[in-house]
Structure 1
């Protein structure tokens, strides 16, 4: 299997369909989740909705670069989102999130192998491979938080 296909598979595992690393994924954790739990707060912790929007922000920012665009995302804005106000808004967001994740994975699969070792936008960001690996690792980090938050918020309600 070529490296870009392997990375796309790893990305899909954490967001869409895998169970190998965490025995779960975003789609499994979030599909069917009530918006009240998704926006539920526990002290000063970010909500499930905020963490999911945060991951989506980075997926879209990197995907935009994959499509030939500029890197427009900034860390300081990566938690700035309108609150989710209903089940319909939550489900619409999830639909967009999962579709954008699949687009990201598809673009990654189609990427020429040699692109992985090229500079990603600017030398300070490292290579495409480094940024893709970081996206996968970052997603697992927040997936773990989401799993715990579901338990905390559900038990408090």
Structure 2
């Protein structure tokens, strides 16, 4: 199996269908979350909706680079969740996350292995593999937060 295929598999595990590392994934944790639960505030913690938006913000930003675009995402905007006033809007955010996650994995699978050691946008960001590994680790970090917040609100 190519390294890009292995990375895509690891990414899908944390986002869509895996159980290996955390015995859960984003899709499993978010499947039964209502708008009220998604937007419930627990102390100073981010809401589940905020973390969902945040992780998709980065996935979508990397997709743009994978498709030949610029790196347009900025950390300062990564929590700028638009107001979610209805269950429908919450479900749209989830649908976007699932679609972006699968698109990310497909684009990654299509990359040649040699691309993994190339500079990602600018030398200061390191290589493609560093950024993809970082995305996977970032996702697991926030998956843990979502899992804990879910336990606190349910």
Which residue number corresponds to residue 17 of structure 1?
A: 17
| 4+ residue runs over 4 A deviation | none
For the pair 1:122 / 2:122, whether they are aligned, the reply is yes
Give CA-to-partner distance per residue, 1:20-77, whole Å, 9 cap, x none.
0000000001012111001100111100000010000000000100000000000111
Q: TM-score normalized by structure 1?
A: 0.97
Which residue number corresponds to residue 8 of structure 1?
A: 8
Which residue number corresponds to residue 71 of structure 1?
A: 71
Equivalent residue runs for 1:94-113 within 5 Å = 94-113=94-113
CA distance in 1, matches of 2:74, 2:136: 18
Question: What RMSD, in angstroms, separates the aligned Cα atoms of the two structures?
Answer: 0.6
Aligned residues, how many?
154
Which residue number corresponds to residue 37 of structure 2?
A: 37
Please list every run of 5 or more consecutive structure 2 residues that lacks an aligned counterpart in the other structure.
none
> 1:125 deviation in Å?
0.1
Q: TM-score normalized by structure 2?
A: 0.98
CA distance in 2, matches of 1:66, 1:121: 10
CA distance in 2, matches of 1:127, 1:83: 35
- Give the secondary structure class of the aligned counterpart of 1:89: helix
- Give the secondary structure class of the aligned counterpart of 1:120: coil
CA distance in 1, matches of 2:113, 2:72: 24
Please list every run of 5 or more consecutive structure 1 residues that lacks an aligned counterpart in the other structure.
none
